Structure 1
């Protein structure tokens, strides 16, 4: 089975209204948790996943938003996620699933539990 690298993109700028600006955003916390979980992956489960933070995904009302994208595959956008270690690991699991999928399709019942809802968009691969 051929796999491609999937990017797990985490918005690091959005925060709930009234949140102290001196504190880390939920996205920053989720990004750090995902990076730590990936570093602790001794089995290579997340070898085809690239984790990166971006300053804004422009869905500010959906605090803690992420996207999955890879060349030639469907892209996904999720929002309103928890910003903890469990979500971070499930994001990595889902990104690995996306990397293994020939066209990037992520069936609802095959996604990790915390990614079975909160989907905001599924975009077709470029040029299809």
Structure 2
């Protein structure tokens, strides 16, 4: 199975300054996450324009078939946040249900959870 990290590439934090080359904060976070993902690994990254969590930018989701899905937000677009997100996604991937015990969460994602969604029922 594949675990997906979906990154809002249009996110702009409240103090957005135009970033290097006019990049959004979401684009900067996406680049940092993508740099950590193996192309052939079970954790993948994709960009999506607007996850509608503008008050909590930068936003990402972690999803996998048949598992709980999580939205996280209010990240700084930096390598520490990206590493925590990727590390959490790897733990999510290993979990049968998508739940990861709190004690295993990387420190850099604690306090960033926004929502949890149940898996879509199989028919």
TM-score between the two structures when normalised by the length of structure 1: 0.84
The match for 1:118 among 105, 109, 112 is: 112
How far off its partner does 1:70 sit? 0.6
How far off its partner does 1:20 sit? 4.9
How far off its partner does 1:75 sit? 0.2
Q: Let me know the Cα RMSD of the aligned residues.
A: 2.0
The match for 2:65 among 67, 71, 75 is: 71
Moved more, 103-112 or 24-33: 103-112
How far off its partner does 1:18 sit? 6.7
Do the aligned partners of 2:37 and 2:44 also contact (CA within 8 Å) in 1? no
Q: How does 1:54-65 map to 2 (within 5 A)?
A: 54-65=48-59
1:5 lines up with 2:20 in the alignment: no
Aligned residue pairs total 120
The match for 2:121 among 114, 117, 127 is: 127
Structure 1: give runs of 5+ residues left out of the alignment.
none
Structure 2: give runs of 5+ residues left out of the alignment.
none
1:9-40 Cα offsets, whole Å, 9 max, x none, are 1101121347455621111001101111225x
How far off its partner does 1:112 sit? 0.7
Find the counterpart in structure 1 of residue 89 from structure 2: 95
1:15 lines up with 2:9 in the alignment: no
Question: 2:61 is paired with a residue of what secondary structure?
Answer: strand
How far off its partner does 1:106 sit? 2.2
